[in-house]
Structure 1
């Protein structure tokens, strides 16, 4: 009787172990995950999201995320083509496009992309002068992305963007650039002022030509100026010499008319 009970107990234990093993074989992959499955060390396939079974130890599965990864590129001390020492920090965005190659072709895809990004930023930026770097940042970002993407394509990863987010200049270079910017603003201000004076001189010359062709216009302008002065309640009014000459000529004409009569 005891032997029967022991056999039943062993059967229950065996069934329980099988149930536990089957439960432990369940794996759930999220929507953004893929599972790279190996059977006895050989690549078996890539499984999609949902419920799947992995029978350990004959099968192993490595999870791979397909979401875009934001990777900080540490600050790099770079010497530009015009021998200016700067510190550049950047950020790269990439995602896995081929889970199989991301697991089989490279040991640690994140670390590999980080290292190749640092060296690429240093090499590409070093080919440009400081002025080109500040003026053509977007173009340089695109060149860095293309170079990194060519290296990461065999690893099953695609770099979508690389952005230079910080450029640290030496203090003496910052002061020099501040003086250059101030001088440039002063130059533009002088050019604008000179252009205004030139346009005013042209208009005054045109007005002078019109007044010369019509002498009465000068008298009307003089009377208008006198009217503007009188608005301010000034006690002294200055008459132009030309205006007095005109008055004398008018009086002489009146005397001649009276004499002829």
Structure 2
């Protein structure tokens, strides 16, 4: 009786172990690559899956987008400027079988190829292009990576340059260049203002030449503006001084004529 009970218990334990080994749960964001005696026999979709213990092996592959930082790379641009650039890449598995069979370690492979591609692409651009055309550089890197990783069942969805470190000497040179550019624009604006002012003053002088009373009115307005402040300054407009001079000359001529008569 006792041996039969022990045998039954052993059988139950073996059945439980085999059942546990044959049941697999594939998550919604995963796919399972099924190997049977070392050969790929299919892909298992999300849900409850059964395999043959010992004979089958189910390799789970995540289909979610993976964020992979690309460590800072020392790069020499086309105009021989040394910069340190880091980036970030986003990729996802689109073919679970290829990602398992075609390559041993997907993340390590993409990381290495992304570093070399980053150096190659940025090295074809000047420093100004690297700073101003980051979107085009990002797209070039993504296209190159996407072509290379297609055979691995991987799709690179996005690449972004994250940080660009410049040498201190280059930062100072760029600051001086920006300052000189601002000074140039300021001088150009001031010169344009002087040119416009000269044209307006010429128009005003032509108007006063055509209408002499306009000059008198302007002189009177200037006197009113000066008289607002409490001061002891006495201003005589130029036309008034010439009028006084002409009157003095007239009186002198009259006195001379009277003395001669």
**Superposed CA offset, 1:178-233 (max 9, x none):** 21121111111111221222222222222222222211111111111111111112
The residue aligned with 1:51 is: 48
When the two structures are superposed, what TM-score results if normalisation uses the length of structure 1?
Answer: 0.88
Q: Secondary structure at the match of 2:64?
A: coil
Tell me how far 1:20 sits from its aligned partner.
2.6
Note the residue ranges of structure 2 that are not aligned, 5 or more in a row.
Answer: 248-261
5 Å-filtered alignment, 1:121-200, equals 121-200=118-197
Q: Secondary structure at the match of 2:12?
A: helix
Say whether 1:9 aligns with 2:2. no
**Superposed CA offset, 1:104-154 (max 9, x none):** 111111111111101101111111111111121111111111111110111
The residue aligned with 1:39 is: 36
**The one of 59, 69, 94 aligned to 2:91:** 94
User: For 2:200 and 2:23, how far apart are their aligned partners in 1?
Assistant: 90
Note the residue ranges of structure 1 that are not aligned, 5 or more in a row.
Answer: 251-261
The residue aligned with 1:21 is: 18
5 Å-filtered alignment, 1:101-112, equals 101-112=98-109
Q: Secondary structure at the match of 1:185?
A: helix
**Superposed CA offset, 1:30-50 (max 9, x none):** 221111111111112222222
Answer whether contact 1:81 1:130 (CA < 8 A) is retained: yes
Q: Secondary structure at the match of 1:245?
A: helix
The residue aligned with 2:259 is: none
Superposition CA RMSD, Å:
2.1
**The one of 223, 226, 246 aligned to 2:223:** 226
Tell me how far 1:246 sits from its aligned partner.
5.2
Answer whether contact 1:219 1:243 (CA < 8 A) is retained: no
User: For 1:210 and 1:26, how far apart are their aligned partners in 2?
Assistant: 102
User: For 2:243 and 2:13, how far apart are their aligned partners in 1?
Assistant: 129
User: For 2:136 and 2:244, how far apart are their aligned partners in 1?
Assistant: 75
Tell me how far 1:70 sits from its aligned partner.
0.9
The residue aligned with 1:257 is: none
